[in-house]
Amino acid sequence: MAERRFIQGRCLSVCIQIDSSRGFEIIGVPLYSMSTSLHPLVTHQRQIHLDFHTSPLIPDLLKDFDARTFAKTMKAARVNSVTVFSKCHHGMCYYPTKAGVEHPALKGRDMLGETIEALHREGIRCPIYTTMAWEADIALKKPEWRMMRKNGLFADWEHGHPGQWKFLNWMHPDYQDYIEAHLQEVLDGYDVDGVFFDICFFPKGACWSDPCRKIREKNNWLNDGIDTHEYFQAYCQAALSKKFNKIVQAKHPQATTFFNAGADCFMTPDAGVRPRYKNMTHFEVESLPSGFWGYYHFPRLARTVFTWDKPWLGMTGRFQKMWGDFGGLKPQAALEYECFRSQSLGGANSVGDQLPPRGVLDPAAYQLIGAVYEQCEKAEPFYEGSKPFVQVGVVTPSYPGLDCDTSAKSEEGVVQMCEESHYECAVLDGVSDYKPYAVLILTDTTVVSPEVKVKLKAYYDKGGKLIISYRAGFDAAGKWALDFLPLSFHGEVEKFPSFWRAQASFWPEAAKSDRVFYTQGMNALGGKGTSVLIERVLPYFNRTDVTYSSHCQTPPLAKADKFPAAIGGKNFVYFADPIFREYRQAGNTTARDGWLLAMKHLIGEAPFGAGLPTTVTCSPRRRNKDLILTLLHYVPVRKSLDIDVCEERMSFAGEALRCPKQVSAVYVYETGESLQRNVSGAFLLPMVKGRLLLEIPNYFK
């Protein structure tokens, strides 16, 4: 085990290597470049994000708080990093302040200082939390600092229950001065490991205050389109993060900085997370599956940031539901799944909690967290120094001006398909390097700029494979951009839901009957060198109040339409329907299975895990010369009306792992046990539940 120990005191740089013989990318993430030590997310991978949003109406604040007991509870739960509060969404500060408003029940006590001192005594790092847009106290005192909509109304958070947060305009120069005074006070007064800036975004339709209107006028962003909102927001986030990152680094150059505003990327580099990317030391992917994100939000964002050159963590919560869910506790299997997923993809972990007002951590919560973090700690040497081993590049469908929720469904759908079929994938944008991937998937609405077209043509001309669906491949003006492919387009399908009728040579099982496709698609024809893989059959008529038949969609005609549903050509397959959004929205396995056949046609089956149940995820990574695999088997179930519940670990017993022919041995990491092979050469998985860590020595010779 000596070779697996953390290497302290060295500066490691970016390393990107391509194993062209297998068509995989091996992605290297730099460890800390700001000092001579490893990045804190490498050395401190088990974090608690400890909310303390406490109303000034609560009188017995910290009545039972003992900092040393608090810190020892954290250490006993295997926690080695805690995000601690300087200021909360109520606008209350938790230290003696001259630049802000002290919580009235604090009475001069320095909670922040006590907490930092106690945690540091136990070897626990503690980045400091502060809030940007949500600060209730100052929103009431300074309404001129609040965000505005174009109609002159305040832009508030509208999520359906009393006590909604009011948005402050963090681009207002006077409010920025107020924030900076608070920040300087913290930076001067405390030993700062990092700063977490929260709520660095504008709600849709904001902001149209006078300071923001000046920015809009300067950049010609005076219309209220959703594309303009994305460009305006990203520009402001870049300016904000540049300014405040510089302030932090000037006084604490070893400190981490993060600006929380989501991790979505767009095809264009001047929207989404890219503009503020260089002003942060790392990424934090906030995604509580029991909140409004669900279980399919995290995988796509994790597979976005793990291709970039910064360490990252996945942030979930211990809650049954959402932030601030006092008394809510999720099953251990759920927290295992959420933390193990992040770890398997190369991320650290952060579990959200909220300290109750009187200052005593929930014992049951830390028993739960400790049970999971103990397992994460034991697995850290397994992952140390490893890099993602990626075969598939997913080119994002997101673009300013397109509906973000619709694009997200497509992106979640394609990542879900890859996970269920056991292909490891990375989500790419227009800046990404496409060369290393065995296949690129242009996903439903991927917009192709002239620069991206050049990259895609170069990739294709060198033998790269393409899967394209629906409107992916068009430019921002709606014109087909990939003119090097023999395809022509003739508007959208007029009658739908339509039906797929596969060619027997491509998909014998689906050639026996027509399968419904619920979403409207495109009319496309293939040119020279192409063939029809799946025909499209139209319904007799669209369902209306006048023309309808039976309960749901109209049944199919006998004869197939002249416009097919899937076209194959040299090194590409085009699906005329939005297959990825269809799968995420409707769970239509016909869409997934047709795509899987196209994948096998172009690049073969997944090299690791093909044939395993769709409920098993298989994440391959390169660790020096070894290949390591993480198999996870947890099944979230919609057993309640509000959320998915993951309550049980599922078994691997009776399943077999298929690997490339050159693999002669597979070992279980925890026990060193060598897996036996069945008559077909696959490796028989043991009677283990939940997570299985496997090693293939010297795979990369």
293 token code pair: 């994100």
Helix 111-121 to helix 67-76 angle (10° resolution) is 40
Given this model, what pLDDT does residue 32 score?
34
- Euclidean distance between CA atoms 209 and 226, whole angstroms: 18
Instruction: Name the CATH topology of 616-696.
Output: Immunoglobulin-like (2.60.40)
pLDDT band at 27 (very low <50, low <70, confident <90, very high): very low
Task: State the Rg of the chain over Cα.
Answer: 26
Q: Under a CB-based contact definition with an 8 Å cutoff, are residues 41 and 305 in contact?
A: no
Residue 147, phi then psi, degrees to nearest 5: -70, 150
Q: Could you tell me which residues come within 8 angstroms of residue 483 by beta carbon, excluding any fewer than 6 positions away?
A: none
pLDDT band at 6 (very low <50, low <70, confident <90, very high): very low
Across the beta sheet with 626-633, the strand order is: 17-19, 24-26, 387-390, 616-623, 626-633, 690-696, 667-668
573 token code pair: 């397959």
Indicate whether 171 pLDDT > 50: yes
Per residue in 436-483, pLDDT (tens digit) is 999 999 999 999 999 999 999 999 999 999 999 999 999 999 999 999
Q: Could you tell me which residues come within 8 angstroms of residue 354 by beta carbon, excluding any fewer than 6 positions away?
A: 50, 51, 52, 53, 323, 324, 326
Q: If you ran DSSP here, which 8-state letter would residue 282 be given?
A: S
Residue 246, phi then psi, degrees to nearest 5: -60, -40
| Across 407-432, average pLDDT | 98
pLDDT band at 91 (very low <50, low <70, confident <90, very high): very high
Within 62-168, strands assigned E span: 81-85, 92-93, 101-102, 128-131
Indicate whether 160 pLDDT > 70: no
Instruction: Name the CATH topology of 392-603.
Output: Rossmann fold (3.40.50)
Indicate whether 25 pLDDT > 70: no
381 token code pair: 């040497």
Tell me the three-class secondary structure of 309-345, residue by residue: CCCEEEEEECCCCCCCCCCCCCCHHHHHHHHHHHHHC
185 C-beta neighbours (distance < 10 Å), count: 18
- Euclidean distance between CA atoms 433 and 539, whole angstroms: 42
| Across 554-575, average pLDDT | 98
Within the chain, which residue ranges are assigned CATH 2.60.40? Answer: 616-696
Within the chain, which residue ranges are assigned CATH 3.40.50.880? Answer: 392-603
Please tell me the pTM assigned to this model.
Answer: 0.94
Per residue in 329-384, pLDDT (tens digit) is 999 999 999 999 999 999 999 999 999 999 999 999 999 999 999 999 999 999 99
Q: Under a CB-based contact definition with an 8 Å cutoff, are residues 575 and 566 in contact?
A: yes
Indicate whether 611 pLDDT > 50: yes
- Euclidean distance between CA atoms 510 and 590, whole angstroms: 8
Q: Under a CB-based contact definition with an 8 Å cutoff, are residues 630 and 685 in contact?
A: no
Given this model, what pLDDT does residue 554 score?
96
SS3 state of residue 1: coil
